[in-house]
Amino acid sequence: MQAIAQYPFIFSDEPRHRIRRHLAFWVFWWLSQGVLYSTIGFSSKFSYPFVLLDSTVESLVYMIAHISLAYGLLYFVIPRYLLKQKYWQTAGWVLISFLGAACISTILSATIIPEIRYWVLGDIEHGYSLRERAIHQFQKSLMAGLRGAITIGGIAASIKLMKHWYVKEQRNLQLQKENAEAQLQLLKAQVHPHFLFNTLNNIYSHTQNTAPVASQLVMGLSDMLRFMLYECNQPKVPLMKELKMIQDYISLEQIRYDDRLDVHVDLPAHTNNQAIAPLLLLPLVENCFKHGTSHMLEQPWLNLQVTLENNRMYVKLMNGKASEVAKNNHKGIGILNVRKRLALLYPGRHELSITDEEEVFIVNLWIQLDSMSLTKKENAAFKLAYDE
């Protein structure tokens, strides 16, 4: 995205930028706390440089509680509960996190901090009084620790959420731009749909008795075009329709290859109410025919297996290819577009791996799907496009 390219220090997830970003934040927090509390607790009894040194060292020790709290919120509470709209669990974990950080700060106040005070300032009486105050006035010490925990927790969570919402907004804007460009390209290339489908229906009716193979081709092509033109303008389509379109495409290729193409397709009988981004799988299957089976002189073959486990879809696609075909199929425009769409539409909810070996091309993909309300017809058992 443009924001990542312009401000990599803030938005990039590369390890070098993330490490620098986190180090900068914690160094700033450490020094600011040290300067702040050295000013608040300054006494003419000690010279200010020693007070500043003592406050800086103490702030470094208290960062044990602050870092534990911040990363607990950033990488556990917020992504697992808040962003998934589990607000009661979020409130409970936030309360536990704050109290835990306050308890750690109280323990540090009663153990390590007095030793640091004595080591830096040589004030054994003040060190002992600090220890006694932390032990006997536990409630006040806990409140002081809770105040610091709320401050650093609030700052860290605010930065995390602001960054998350900004990146999400930029992703939505990019998706809108991609969809607008895709629709423009479709409008430039398409013939008037009514004319196109009327013509295909006329061809189908004339060839149904005289040329059954041509009739099947026309019907399969008509179904695919209807799906692409009328239904793919939605952000999500029923998974059943997407798989039906894939099966139609493979069936058309089977007719083109006659009996030379060995195809094995295993699709789920029911897809329940699962939905998927339209035309996401077609480039993968098309790539098999374009770079694989069409180059094989002998027996071409293709194997497609789609399984569902809860809300996850697993796709395994394999095809044979001639050994002399260059190993760059996974770098084609279609595959790159699939990777780009997956990154935009299913961030953190997919995994695509492609293996390009000498005589076989293997695609493994899993996607965490969304759900949508479907009619009984859309949720019906899957049926192959051309059952003979």
pLDDT one-digit tens code per residue, 318-331: 988 766 554 555 55
Round to whole Å and give the CA distance between 33 and 27.
Answer: 10
Round to whole Å and give the CA distance between 290 and 216.
Answer: 22
Round to whole Å and give the CA distance between 377 and 375.
Answer: 5
Q: What is the pLDDT of residue 194?
A: 53
Place of tokens 């990599």: 8
- In the predicted model, what is the mean pLDDT of residues 367-373? 86
**CATH code at 238-388:** 3.30.565.10
Q: What is the pLDDT of residue 254?
A: 78
Q: What is the pLDDT of residue 224?
A: 74
Element housing 68 (H / E): helix 48-72
Among the listed residues 219, 270, 227, the one whose alpha carbon sits nearest the alpha carbon of residue 245: 227
Average pLDDT in the chain: 77
User: Is 109 within 8 Å of 141 (Cβ atoms)?
Assistant: yes
48-72 vs 138-189: helix axis angle to the nearest 10?
50
- In the predicted model, what is the mean pLDDT of residues 107-119? 77
Among the listed residues 338, 370, 379, 123, the one whose alpha carbon sits nearest the alpha carbon of residue 241: 379
The pLDDT of residue 388 is above 50 = no
Q: What is the pLDDT of residue 45?
A: 66
Query: 301-309 and 262-266: which strand pairing?
Result: parallel
**Confidence (pTM):** 0.49
Domain ranges for the chain, please list them.
Answer: 2-181, 191-231, 238-388
CA angle 11, 12, 18 (to 5 degrees): 100
Side-chain half-sphere CA neighbours of 360 within 13 A: 9
Beginning with the edge strand found earlier in the chain, give each strand of the sheet holding 301-309 in spatial order.
262-266, 301-309, 312-320, 360-368, 350-356
